[in-house]
Amino acid sequence: MSQDKSNDNAFPKQQQDLPGSQSDQHPKPEVLPKEYPNGKLAGKVAVITGADSGIGQAVAILFAKEGADIVASYLCEDEDASFTKKHVEGYGRRCLLVASDLSVEDNCKALIEKAVNEFGKIDILVNNARMQIEQDSLTDISTEQFDKTVHTNFYPHFWLSKFALPYLSKGGSIINTTSITAYRGSDHLIDYAATKGAILSFTRALANNLSGSDKGIRVNGVAPGPIWTPLIVASFTPDEVAKFGKSSPMGRAGQPNEVAPAYLYLASDDASYVTGQVIHVNGGEIVGG
């Protein structure tokens, strides 16, 4: 059985000779694995955006496998969203599908309200929905494109987190999808990279803001590298698709189910001492920050 946490964060004064004896330490360090007999997310409710395909879909299905009920938000891809629902329910969990354009503030508020009305609470918020449009030059990016990219990629992180905060349960978790482009940029996805940088800073700032909260809400991010999702074939040329991911140190693109476990870790109590951090799942590229 796992050891109980002490409610007292202060350690009594004590000192030992090197190398130290754990058996004489008070309180003793908690070293036994945490146990999850019904799954790492048993009884949890997760709101996941962009959950109809790719990373969001893989996260929704994995969370359900680990015991969570899912609110799966998506734009308009009903067939893909039905696949998510089928597999979530295949694990005996409930799945509420919500088709919505989250670039509109009122829709973000409505999504949170639907989640609370359906399940009574929110334990996990995964901000994942995004879009990208390639342009060779900054001068090719219109104000309309820039606004659409920002409103699709960044604003929902702000709005959904804001609207979800009053309903997030104690120990709740917000997980934001940033990107490797937030760290190294992208010469053909300038506006996209800018939004991912904003998400990175937002994640760190919100984590700092909430770190002293009595509710113990943690805020973290995942920064995927090249991952094989519908966004790739919808935004890159056929020649780019053919070589997608080959420039990574591992020489290939990743799959959504190779990224999803990072979200599971951050959502679960395994990451109870982790906030303001970003997990890099990018095939081996070393990035700063």
Catalytic residues: 192
**Dist CA 164 CA 158 (whole Å):** 10
**Dist CA 12 CA 31 (whole Å):** 19
How distant, in Å, are the alpha carbons of 57, 148, 181 from that of 132? 18, 9, 12
Helix axes 105-119, 155-164, angle to 10 degrees: 40
Q: Tell me whether strands 278-281 and 95-99 are parallel, antiparallel or unpaired.
A: unpaired
Q: Tell me whether strands 168-177 and 218-224 are parallel, antiparallel or unpaired.
A: parallel
**Dist CA 69 CA 48 (whole Å):** 11
Q: Which of 123, 278, 147 is nearest to 216 (CA)?
A: 123
Q: How many helices (H) and strands (E) does the chain have?
A: 10, 7
* DSSP secondary structure letters along 53-113: SHHHHHHHHHHHHTT-EEEEEESS-HHHHHHHHHHHHHTT--EEEEE--TTSHHHHHHHHH
